[in-house]
Amino acid sequence: DTSEEQGREFGKGRGTVDCCYPVKCISGHYGELIFGQKKKINILLSPMIHSLPSILHRHVVDTVTCTRVMAGPENIKAGFMKEHDVFADSGVVYASPFVSLGDRHMVTAQLHSSLKDIFDLDSGETERAVLAGFQALDSFTAKTRQQSREILAWCAQNQKPCILVLARPYHMDTGIGHEIEAELQAHGYPILWLQYLPGDDDLMNWLFEGDIRKGRVKSPFDISDVWTSSYSSNTNEIMWGAKVAARCPWITCVIRLSSYECGMDQPTYTPTQKIVEASGTLFFKFGDLDSTKPAGSIKIRVETIVHYLAKYSQDIIQQKLNWLSPKCPLPMAPQERTPSSTVVPAETGAVVVAGETPAAERARHSQLGV
């Protein structure tokens, strides 16, 4: 895991260009691998990942990575070669294959051409290794999506809320995401990550059938109504996750995480917030996360979030259920479908809470970061 100490001890003075926090962290990881192991490593493998597998594959323009991710290995490597070649001095071979994980048919050739001499590989071995890797990835992804479905089924059965984290995959790293979601889970709210939302047809068609019927989108995975330049894989998934959160009744709150100096997230802040809040779903953003864990302010904000969840979740669930067909594919406790009087979405996407004074609403919005 990433930590402040790791960066200080192993990555200090290795920066070459000003970059976002997640990329900056790689220096600490490289340094620890080279200098901090009891048993010396022989090879440091750090692929330049060009594209990613995605649930939105074929529904979007492309699924490429952020350019800073793609260039990260070269950028960080330079910091270890500024004065002399630290890899060579330490007897470490540096391997950085360019790989398009989103285009599986290309991966064997890409890895074989760049790694064949380093690992003494033939093409058949590379192909079997790539197959095994994708099988492991697919099996983990399917299992985790199923677990997310089970969480939603439990919420539906018990009419309980859960929280969706809208973030990039590396925010699951405790040093980058600072375990903010774990603080919320400790209050009894199940956590879903957008990367593992269940994409099952029955559930997705139920959530998006109104949009498809009205011709707004072609499928539940179509994000062209909210994001036309859909090239970047994780950005696309963040937009899709916001749409799912806005529709799914039991997701009553979204936590948005973003790292220090993230240029990719910048244009998505307003659209994601508007999408989520348009259905009255609560939205809280933790931005500019870096190495420092602001424990005190996280604690205060977690208390605020828990307060709003406890106060509004049942109304949000009921309101969103009223907008959807009664044929929910998840087993639900019997309930009346009555219009909620407490939370209504305004046209702007802002949430109006009946009975709340304007001052209280303003205070609430400022706490939401609106």
Q: CB of residue 29 vs ligand SF4: minimum separation in angstroms?
A: 14
Q: CB of residue 23 vs ligand SF4: minimum separation in angstroms?
A: 5
Closest to ligand SF4 by CB, 57 vs 68, is 68
Q: CB of residue 265 vs ligand SF4: minimum separation in angstroms?
A: 6
Short-list 281, 330, 272, 341, CA closest to 161:
281
Q: CB of residue 65 vs ligand SF4: minimum separation in angstroms?
A: 8
Q: CB of residue 98 vs ligand SF4: minimum separation in angstroms?
A: 17
Alpha carbon distance 361, 112 (integer Å): 59
- What does the block give as tokens for 268? 């998505």
- What does the block give as tokens for 278? 């348009």
Q: CB of residue 66 vs ligand SF4: minimum separation in angstroms?
A: 3
Collapsed DSSP state (helix, strand, coil) of residue 352: strand
Query: Dmax of the chain from CA atoms?
Result: 71
Query: Based on the number of CB atoms within 10 Å of its own CB, is 34 exposed (0-12), middle (13-18) or buried (19 or more)?
Result: buried
Phi, psi of 72 (to 5 degrees): -50, -50
Short-list 241, 211, 257, 266, CA closest to 66:
266
Closest to ligand SF4 by CB, 103 vs 173, is 173
- For 51-115, the DSSP string reads E---TTTTTSS--BPPHHHHHHHHHHHHHTSSSS-HHHHTT-EEE--EEETTSHHHHHHHHHHHH
Residue found by looking up tokens 């973030």 in the block: 167
Q: CB of residue 69 vs ligand SF4: minimum separation in angstroms?
A: 5
Alpha carbon distance 146, 35 (integer Å): 40
Residue found by looking up tokens 């304007």 in the block: 358
Q: Give the footprint of ligand SF4 on this chain (CB under 6 A).
A: 20, 22-23, 66, 68-69, 168, 259, 262-265
Closest to ligand SF4 by CB, 30 vs 250, is 30
- What does the block give as tokens for 142? 């399917």
Closest to ligand SF4 by CB, 160 vs 178, is 178
Handedness of CA 79, 82, 83, 88 (dihedral sign): positive
Closest to ligand SF4 by CB, 126 vs 195, is 195
* Residue 299 C-alpha from the chain's centroid: 22
Closest to ligand SF4 by CB, 19 vs 86, is 19
Q: What is the dihedral of CA 240, 242, 244, 247, to 10 degrees?
A: -140
Closest to ligand SF4 by CB, 288 vs 303, is 288
Q: CB of residue 21 vs ligand SF4: minimum separation in angstroms?
A: 7
Closest to ligand SF4 by CB, 66 vs 316, is 66
Closest to ligand SF4 by CB, 69 vs 316, is 69
E-assigned strand segments in the chain: 43-45, 48-51, 93-95, 98-100, 162-166, 191-193, 251-259, 282-289, 343-345, 351-353
Q: CB of residue 290 vs ligand SF4: minimum separation in angstroms?
A: 10
Q: CB of residue 17 vs ligand SF4: minimum separation in angstroms?
A: 12
Count CB-CB contacts under 10 A for residue 283.
23
Closest to ligand SF4 by CB, 66 vs 330, is 66
